[in-house]
Amino acid sequence: MVRSYNTDSVALRVPKNTATAAATFSLPKLSKDEMADLENKISTYSNPQKVPIKKETPHVSEEAVHLTDSAIKRLNYLSEQRKKTQYLRLRVDSGGCYGFSYMLDMDEEPAVDDVVVDRNGAKMVIDEVSLPLVRGATIDWQDRLIGQAFIVLANPQASGGCGCGSSFEIKMD
């Protein structure tokens, strides 16, 4: 992008292969000192310094959720097959026929804001935002004719849910 400055306006020109056309913004007249200060601020903001992010250890909880024996067995099997710890990630998204949906995915690393559940070597992670909505829930591995999946078998924070079990509504105490 090419920038040109004068005391009456700032014109921004972008290459033709982009979808944006040239734009002009009217500014009040600036003194040379004000213009130099503006150019300094623009160069500072366009080249920010990288700040190292301190990675914290995720919090480990024994009481967050319960894993059935079949869920523990399946998670340990997946970790053995991949020769690396596999984490079952449970998160809650808005949506579904009852307002909230369970999302169960596999992950290889916990995030900084995750709560880690460890049961006999089987590991599960839940983000801190989703945890209050599923605290005390029971997670199961089911192998049925219609498919195999981890499911939320019971959730004490839910007052109801859909027939397929993928969405729920929260208790309003």
CA of 117: how far to CAs of 61, 166, 173, in Å? Answer: 6, 21, 26
Residue 13 pLDDT greater than 60, yes or no: no
Q: What is the DSSP letter of 91?
A: E
Look at residue 172 in the predicted model and tell me its pLDDT: 79
* 66: region left, alpha or beta (phi > 0 left; psi from -120 to 50 alpha): beta
Other C-beta atoms closer than 10 Å to the C-beta of 88 total: 23
Residue 135 pLDDT greater than 60, yes or no: yes
Q: If pLDDT is split at 50, 70 and 90, which confidence band does 6 have? A: very low
90-112: average pLDDT: 88
Comparing CA positions, the residue from 105, 139, 102, 101 lying closest to residue 119 is: 139
Q: What is the pTM of this model?
A: 0.63
Look at residue 159 in the predicted model and tell me its pLDDT: 83
